[in-house]
Amino acid sequence: MDTMHREISFSVDVASAFVKERVRLLITDDLQLISPFCTSIVSLFTKLGVTNRNTTEELHFNIGVDEVMNLLISSLVSKTPLTETLLKHKPVAELNHDNNYQAVHIDPQTGGETVLMEEDNISIKLIISKSKNIVCYAEAGEDFVNLLFSFLTLPLGFVTKQIQDGSLKGCIDQLYWSVQDLDAQYLKSNHHKEMLLNPKLVPGFCYNSLLGIEEAAYYYLGNGLTTDSSLIHSNRSSESFKIEPADHNSSARGFLKGPAIFTVTDNLVIRPISTIFELSVLDELNVPFTDIEERVMLMGKKLALSLLVASFASDSALTNAFISEPYQE
């Protein structure tokens, strides 16, 4: 028997703003949020080495789409994004080219157990240069590439949450910790603060459990949907439900058809497996056949998070996630 389908429209309560109206905050060049009190201003100027008011100047800017996008980019690669965006008018877009950079610490409580159930782990084969101690490339199935592609769907706040020691080149982590320390009088609600510090994915975007990010639960309230469960608790007549994707079978999720094998370079260039492409990678790295070894690794939750953070912090993501000492499992 045919199932009847009909389209139902709901209004969704989304956060158009997180800070209360008429609230004033000072934003430093490295995106720290501080209260606009005299003691805070004096402390900031002292930190910057400004001792004479005559050496300061007040400027006014019109902020549009271009400035916002440049500020976002600069916050990922610079410690002075306001200066780069508003005074120099261009972001400083550079990544760390040093394979021996300080690896990002993953909190064990966030990273979870290294080894999960066998079906939750992902197997990959690394082709390593023994003399240079780098990953030349990896050969992996669609499950690994699906995981890499899922990095593009993650909220920036989730990525920043994994960083414990400020290892990113930019200062987006300063913004995250500023929100965490911000007094309740400035934010619209605890729910809005939670949305920033522990963002969730829209239902259907969560590829697997390795990264530990949750899907948002939507609640029906009145004639609309909301993610704020506190509104449900204060309204007993409301009905709550969680939106599930049409196909909620996790084994069917992903972005690629399978089965398939791919070549993934150290800087996360992905190609269908090709001997010619792999030879060109070795040639570009000046790595002879006699210098390579194969290593099969089983990637669990901690390594998946390390790879996520390394993809933001370095252009040698595989090396820094799988070979650098702090990442070894």
Instruction: Give the phi and the psi of residue 161 in degrees, each rounded to 5.
Output: -65, -25
Q: Which of 76, 84, 100, 267 is nearest to 160 (CA)?
A: 76
User: How far apart (Å, rounded) are the C-alpha atoms in residues 249 and 254?
Assistant: 11
* CB contact at 8 A, 143 and 252: no
The reported pLDDT for the residue numbered 53 is: 72
pLDDT digits (tens, 9 = 90+) for 104-140: 445 444 444 444 454 568 999 999 999 999 999 999 9
CA 300 to chain centre: 18
41's CB contacts (< 8 A; 6+ apart) are 26
The reported pLDDT for the residue numbered 56 is: 79
Neighbours of 316 (CB within 10 A): 24
Give the chain's mean pLDDT: 79
Which of 228-237, 241-250, 275-284 is predicted most confidently? 275-284
Preceding amide of 288 cis, omega within 30: no
* pLDDT band for position 101 (cuts 50, 70, 90): very low
* pLDDT band for position 96 (cuts 50, 70, 90): very low
Token representation of residue 290: 């006699």
Output the CA–CA distances (angstroms, integers) from residue 279 to 126, 127, 176, 284, 292, in the order listed: 14, 12, 42, 9, 12
User: Does the structure show a pLDDT above 80 at 71?
Assistant: yes
User: How far apart (Å, rounded) are the C-alpha atoms in residues 322 and 306?
Assistant: 8
User: How far apart (Å, rounded) are the C-alpha atoms in residues 191 and 203?
Assistant: 19
Q: What is the pTM of this model?
A: 0.78
pLDDT digits (tens, 9 = 90+) for 203-228: 777 776 788 888 887 777 666 777 77
